[in-house]
Chains A and B, each alone.
Chain A
Amino acid sequence: MEELTKEEVLHVAHLARINVSDEDVEKYKIQLRQILNEMEKINEVDVEGDILISPSNNSNEYREDIGLDEEVDILSNAPKKNGNYIEIKRFVND
């Protein structure tokens, strides 16, 4: 079984915005390959026609643009806040 390369692992980890340690990279090289091997079985299937994104047959519905819920404190779960603002560290573009 051909393992993923370190670069490939780091690429998918970046896409998913997950930092990985060197130790993790070694683990994921094998584990991600195992999953990809399983997924690639769909290459055996010859299929044409429509796609199915959702099993629901409902069509879109519009409603009045009004609040439905009572007023709630949507900031209550923010890890850091300052008054009515969520606080994060200041970033300066490189």
Chain B
Amino acid sequence: MTKYLDLSIKEINNKLKNKEIKPIDLVLECFERIENCKEYNTFITLNKEEAINIAKELENIEVDNILFGIPIAIKDNIVTKDLKTTCGSKILSNFVPVYDSTVVEKLKEKHMIIVGKLNMDEFAMGSSNETSYYGPVLNSHDKTRVSGGSSGGSAVSVALNIVPFSLGSDTGGSIRQPSAFNGVVGLKPTYGRVSRYGLVAFGSSLDQIGPISRNVYENALLLNAIAGKDEKDLTSSVTNEDFTRFIGEDIKGMKIAVPKFYMSDVINSEIRNRINEVINFLTKKGVTIDYVDVKNIEYSVPLYQIIALAEASSNLARFDGVRYGYLTDKEYKNVDDMYKFTRQEGFGDEVKRRLMIGSYVLSGKNAKTYYYKALRIRKSISDSFESLFKKYDLIIGPTTTDYAYKLGEGQNDAVKSFTDDLLTIPVNMAGLPGMSIPVGINDNKTIGLQIIGNKFEEAKMYKLASFIENNFGGESC
């Protein structure tokens, strides 16, 4: 078995340019790895035949960029033309999109090769990948533990080095939390940095697509490829920058804030200790660190339950059994029953709970009591971050409150899938960029450090992330 996929993207790129290897070598190696790692359940659909054909076609095209010919896998809520897209749900088990999402179009322009669609919590609702209709993804470091979610397949496929890159999506932590649980680098970009066209909507004011990779530099390379203005997504923004440009620069003089809430007793003490070691190290290297308050940040979980679920109940109303997706076999006498049976049978438990809550908070007087109140608190959190970024370059803290837990452990707790995202949700509420980078492993359990930036300042985040990676990445505690 060849081992080209263990090389850095730069090295692979050189070998492709020198004609030492061909894209087909990478693709075949990738599918061999997929086969060997089957038990982790990372993929829902493979794109083998098409990937091989594209790899062969690329032999006649000059290697024109660093991502040329590189295999990548896509979370299954990002639509891919002629390639099944299930969202981890029974209701879309036969759904074959008729168009490509903008991010997938961009990857194809770079001649990246899509090898398949990745397992995920159903409709990205969950934080352990256990809500997938296609079964849970297993943790890359310990098969008895959860992968995290909802982008579980995206994080584990990169952690196992099946693919060097994947795309995930993040509504309340769905890129960062599984990245932390599997020791990979995952970025949720600024809201608007990456087009959401073709991302099956969950919470439209919170959702972002983002890159997951083995290291910081390669993460920035993938963001370069997918960022930018798209006329099909009015919330997207113009991007004319190279996100790798500050990597390697000295971090001396940087000002960093640590929210006190992120270092409270709620956080596992081993994780807190590790983050403190990073903080002490940064201080020695000339970084100023202050502990700060973010107003109302402790309400991020109820805020998410209200805002994300209200948006979800509206977005998922489109699954009616008429235009696409599953339709009930039961006899029905009226249109409501057609919807109700279809949705009862097509959606899983977590999704049904969330849609009921979402409908509830928007109905009648509740809209004022819950939804509008939550939007006011959201504004206050966003304002608080805005004033912090007038004084500080970046914010850091842990990504998660605890390690990856055992499979099945959270199953009887309807609230756990929300509280898992305690430290990641505030970032989505304010539309900020946030990333998780690995800073240590304890007894096969990985620790993620979260870096939060001001809007559209991902390049600065990569600079700090790379510095920390060089000193802490992959190291045992």
Contact = CB atoms under 8 A, between A and B. Distances in A.
B418 A47 contact: no
Contact of B302 (A39, A54, A68): A39
A31 B355 CA distance: 13
Interface string A48-75: 1111111110101101000011001110
Given A34-B415, A47-B377, 7 more contacts: A38-B302, A38-B418, A42-B302, A54-B191, A63-B231, A77-B98, A79-B326
A49 B379 contact: yes
Query: Which 9 A-B residue pairs are closest in the complex by CB-CB distance?
Result: A55-B431, A77-B324, A51-B375, A15-B359, A79-B327, A19-B340, A52-B379, A31-B414, A19-B344
A34 B235 contact: no
B355 A50 contact: no
Interface residues of B, number: 74
B335 interface: yes
B410 to A, nearest CB: 12
B192 A56 contact: yes
A86 B323 contact: yes
B376 A13 contact: no
A61 B347 CA distance: 36
A51 B429 CA distance: 12
A78 B377 CA distance: 41
A55 B237 CA distance: 12
A40 to B, nearest CB: 7
B338 A18 contact: no
Nearest to A42: B302
Contacts, number: 169
B90 to A, nearest CB: 13
Interface in B285-322: 296, 299, 301-303, 305-306, 313, 317, 321-322
Contact of A38 (B234, B301, B363): B301
Interface stretch (B66-74, B161-169, B174-182, B366-374): B366-374
**Binding site secondary structure of chain A:** loop
20 contacts: A12-B356, A12-B357, A16-B343, A18-B344, A18-B352, A18-B355, A28-B353, A35-B415, A36-B357, A38-B301, A38-B418, A39-B302, A39-B357, A47-B377, A48-B376, A54-B191, A60-B234, A68-B232, A79-B324, A79-B327
Interface of B: 94-96, 98-99, 191-192, 204-205, 231-232, 234-237, 296, 299, 301-303, 305-306, 313, 317, 321-327, 332-341, 343-344, 347, 352-353, 355-361, 363, 370, 372-380, 382, 413-415, 418, 429-432, 455
A41 B302 contact: yes
A73 B432 CA distance: 38
A6 interface: no
A18 B343 contact: yes
A49 to B, nearest CB: 6
B430 to A, nearest CB: 6
A88 interface: yes
B359 A16 contact: yes
Contact of B235 (A20, A39, A56): A56
Interface residues of A, number: 51
Nearest to B323: A78
Contacts of B323: 77-78, 86
Contacts of B335: 91
Contact of B332 (A18, A50, A89): A89
A94 B359 CA distance: 26
Interface in A8-40: 12-20, 28, 30-32, 34-36, 38-40
A15 B431 contact: no
Contacts of B339: 17
A38 B282 CA distance: 37
B342 to A, nearest CB: 9
Nearest to B237: A58
A50 B341 CA distance: 40
Contact of B98 (A32, A61, A73, A94): A73
A82 to B, nearest CB: 13
Contact of B359 (A12, A36, A78, A80): A12
A32 B373 contact: no
Contacts of B432: 55
A29 to B, nearest CB: 11
A56 B359 contact: no
